[in-house]
Structure 1
């Protein structure tokens, strides 16, 4: 995954230090909304038409992965989004090596939340979870057509 912190952005934060010289690294998003903005920019840069529902699903997956990293994973360690062969790849790293937990739904009204990971699983064409020095990297591939 590479290192998650660099010194070329304010506060020493970079989203992907190994990015090519043609594509400078985007700052590490502070919020899920910032991550969605970065994903939208990646999609716009391609200049290709995308299925609106697929884009909505991709933004929802981005939101869930980043929110879970911030709330449950000890904070966001790295974030990267790119398009390859008609699919969006979103990678989110955090500081907790434990994989997300898939819970069965309790009776209505007894718990709020816990539905994001099953949603990610249902929307992503492919998911991988890889441990890295003290945390995990979750990569979701989402079809855009």
Structure 2
């Protein structure tokens, strides 16, 4: 995992909008747990602290988007960028595959998924997919 970040100094002095922080993960199954830990450490640094349910939503969104990149996208790595805004957290995941996420019927019997993408869309205030010549980014904006 490679990380980078910059400090944002915007907003009123009593509201720490927090850093913008990012990491690049090799596309291996353990990337999901590393990304979740990265997200938890990010939100733990925010002041004022977040509501516990909002923290869970951020962690779950990171987990689902990184899982999708690891399982379904082309390329050998994926990126995660977290940005704290005064009233929201933006989660952006990038990969080398220009194909957008595909909604599919949830698999209730075989355990092969299908729940994550609809769940992210439900939890987020907004979800955007930006496709480019080198892949795509998926950005979910969640309440803070």
What residue is the counterpart of 1:3 in the other structure?
Answer: none
Alignment of 1:117-136 (within 5 A): 117-136=117-136
- Alignment correspondent of 2:39: 39
Q: In proportion to residue count, which structure has more strand? A: 2
* Cα offsets for 1:71-129 (capped at 9, x unmatched): 101243321112112211111001111111112346x4266311111111111111110
Q: Which runs of 5+ in 1 are unaligned?
A: 1-12
Q: Contact 1:14–1:25 at 8 Å: present in 2 too?
A: no
Unaligned runs of 5+ in 2: 9-18
Q: Residue by residue, what CA displacement relative to the aligned partner does 1:15-71 show, whole Å, maximum 9, x if unpaired?
A: 55xx43786965423411111122112212222121111111111110000010011
Q: Secondary structure at the match of 2:24?
A: coil
| Residues 1:104 and 1:47: Cα distance change in structure 2 (over 3 Å) | same
CA distance in 1, matches of 2:106, 2:23: 36
CA contact (8 A) 1:89 1:140 kept: yes
The number of residue pairs the alignment matches comes to 129
**Partner Cα separation in structure 1 for residue 35 and residue 93 of structure 2:** 10
Structure 1 contact 98–135 (Cα < 8 Å) conserved: yes
Give TM-score scaled by structure 1 length: 0.75
Deviates more, 1:20-29 or 1:76-85: 20-29
Measured on the aligned residues, the alpha-carbon RMSD in Å equals: 2.5
Q: TM-score, normalised by structure 2?
A: 0.76
* Residue 74 of structure 2 is aligned to residue 77 of structure 1: no
In structure 1, the partner of 2:112 is 112
